[in-house]
Chains A and B, each alone.
Chain A
Amino acid sequence: MPNYELIQQDGLETSLLEVSMGPHHPSTHGVFRMDVKLDGETVVDLKPVFGYLHRNHEKLAEAMSYLASMPFTDRLDYFNSMTNNWAYALAAEQLIEIEIPERAEYLRVIMSELTRLVNHVSLVGFFVNDLGALGTPLLYAFREREKILDLFEQASGARMMCNYFRFGGLRCDVPEGWLDRTREVVDRFPKFLDEYEKLLCENEIILSRTQGVGNLSKELAINAGITGPMLRASGVNYDIRKVDNYGIYDRFKFRVPYSKGKVGDCYDRFMVRMLEMRESIEILKQALDGIEAGPIMGNAGKVFKPAKAEAYGRVEAPKGELGFYLVADGTTQPYRYRVRPPSFINLTVLQDMCIGQQVADAVIILGSIDIVLGEVDR
């Protein structure tokens, strides 16, 4: 960084260039703003500004019956409505005694792993798009995502806002033949991943653009409460599917990829997601083999009215730990409803990662965090 005082001594006036990137910017992934101070092309300071998409989600939920909040959780991270549903259902299911049927548990795993595929595959697409690739990888990703969204539509009636999980099970069973179609999609997915890896993982430009960019140390990641692939990219072996074994995850054999180094950069975050998709496919195959016919709804009554209690339910959403904290006061509405959004908490380290990098890097660092503004602002 040049010494500004020296420049000014020469009688020249100089100052940093302040650029407000967003809220209308092609690569801020929604209405997000970065107030960037630039020295030439180098980022000297960066301030994330958000809240443009605040929808009062938590407060609204406190004036609604428990079930009525379920469709609103779809809108948090609109890429992953299934895992959002699950996290909320997990929290609510702790408030009352409820048995979840076997088939529902299997379908929950299948849905959430399909969601992970959808999320990671499009995140990688968006990320490479931020690198400047004119959308080719993104459109390949969307092509595959389309097939999974079709499955979601067949199961739940909607492609993105699925609203499929219920306290104690699922809203409805999957239609006939759905499992076969899912198996077809799952079996074909590795072929696509091979192609995707060939297109991206060895590309010299991507390698040199992403390696050593946006370093996040293990310590900082843990201290800042980072979760999900971003934490694993910094070399921490932590996955709530393994830690909590919620649902029936203890029945499946799968591995959790994480970085070898102590510092994670954009390349690690990108690769960890690529590898995670392969593991999701493994889980899906096992789940599709294990699923049997049966009921899909537990013994829950029509009206959900828990006694006074508190509960925190969390899942490993594709973006990190998604948790719902509920305080019940004995009525049909929650007394307090709180979301722990992974995107928002992962976003807190943006400034630390961006300072000293180039403008172009700031954009891809933001891309590698994987945020969805619906979840950040709630």
Chain B
Amino acid sequence: MSLLGGGIFKGMAVTLRNFVGSYFDKERLTTKEYAWRTDDKLPERAGDYPKEEAEQLSDTTTVTHYSRNFPMLLHDEGEPMDTVRCVACQICERECPPQCIYIEKSKDKMERGGNKAQFYPATFDIDVSVCMSCQICVEVCPFDAIVMNSQFELSTPDRFGGLLLRRDDLLKSNDYYHKIHPEEAAARDKRIADEKAAKEAKKKAAEEAKKKAAEAKAKAEAEAKAKEEAESAEKPAEAPAPTHTDAKKEDNGE
């Protein structure tokens, strides 16, 4: 025979334990208190929000090293636009599920880091009110030029222009990337270095081979070309680039 109202008393014991426990047990009180500092002042307008601090927040516990939010464009050491990795190949623009990237290719080519001269993005916009943080663009980019940022304090008083991130807003250095996603960035750098080493070794081998047989070199070239062609053939059909007025008006209904 059970006690009259026994279930209710048991439940009350549980809530009492939680009430007391929330003062002592870290496991129970998982909320973190966002402390006001004495010199804290609330921004007068939303636009005055301390941006620099927001960028540093990824060092704090509020954002983990794993979180992803919106994409950013990587550049290596040096002037951002001189070392930007993106070559405006527009693969990401085509693959982005909600079509929120808009790229315009440059007219001229630019040399970067001793590589062959390539195009660069004259315009590179991401409408973060449409972007759904899916990371598909990062996966498809063959040049490791676009990665995910974890900056989350993007509130702005201008809901159209303010949420349209321009190329210069998106440019972030590789160091910053290492700061916010250390593990991922290290792995990526290692992969790039490996690939580069492999490529150089291949090049060396190819040069040696060139000395031996000219046909072999021609064949290798043909192969490289074929591979490139296959890649471009495999790209899905051209999707219409998002017109900005449309993209801006769209509401992310989630």
Q: Which A residues lie at the B interface, using CB under 8 A?
A: 53, 55, 63-65, 67-72, 74-75, 78, 136, 140, 143, 146-147, 150, 153-159, 161, 163, 171, 175-176, 188, 195, 198-207, 302-303, 305, 331-333
Query: Are A146 and B66 in contact (CB-based, < 8 A)?
Result: no
Query: Are A55 and B97 in contact (CB-based, < 8 A)?
Result: no
**In the bound complex, how far is the Cα of B234 from the Cα of A331, in angstroms?**
10
Query: Are A204 and B148 in contact (CB-based, < 8 A)?
Result: no
Query: Are B67 and A153 in contact (CB-based, < 8 A)?
Result: yes
Q: Which B residues lie at the A interface, using CB under 8 A?
A: 5-8, 10-11, 13-15, 17-18, 27-28, 30, 64, 66-68, 95-97, 132-136, 139, 148, 183, 234-237, 239, 253-254
For the complex of A and B, list the 10 residue pairs with the smallest distance between their C-beta atoms, beginning with the closest. A71-B134, A202-B7, A157-B68, A303-B234, A68-B97, A199-B14, A203-B7, A332-B236, A154-B66, A199-B11
Query: Are A161 and B28 in contact (CB-based, < 8 A)?
Result: no
**In the bound complex, how far is the Cα of B5 from the Cα of A173, in angstroms?**
50
A70 proximity list for chain B (CB < 8 A) = 134, 136
**In the bound complex, how far is the Cα of B235 from the Cα of A179, in angstroms?**
37
Query: Are A71 and B97 in contact (CB-based, < 8 A)?
Result: yes
Query: Are B18 and A140 in contact (CB-based, < 8 A)?
Result: yes
The chain B residue sitting closest to A332, CB to CB, is B236
Query: Are A200 and B66 in contact (CB-based, < 8 A)?
Result: no
CB of B234 to closest CB in A, whole Å: 4
A303 proximity list for chain B (CB < 8 A) = 234-235
A332 proximity list for chain B (CB < 8 A) = 234, 236-237
Query: Are A71 and B64 in contact (CB-based, < 8 A)?
Result: no
CB of B129 to closest CB in A, whole Å: 16
Query: Are B183 and A68 in contact (CB-based, < 8 A)?
Result: no
- Apart from the given pairs A154-B64, A201-B7, 16 other A-B contacts in the complex at a CB distance below 8 Å: A70-B136, A72-B97, A146-B30, A153-B67, A157-B67, A157-B148, A158-B67, A158-B68, A163-B136, A175-B66, A175-B183, A198-B13, A198-B14, A203-B10, A203-B11, A333-B236
The chain B residue sitting closest to A61, CB to CB, is B97
- The contact sample of 9 A-B pairs, CB cut-off 8 A, is A64-B97, A67-B136, A150-B64, A157-B66, A158-B67, A171-B139, A198-B14, A202-B6, A203-B7
CB contact between A136 and one of B15, B28, B132, B134 (< 8 Å): that residue? B15
Query: Are B10 and A153 in contact (CB-based, < 8 A)?
Result: no
B235 proximity list for chain A (CB < 8 A) = 303
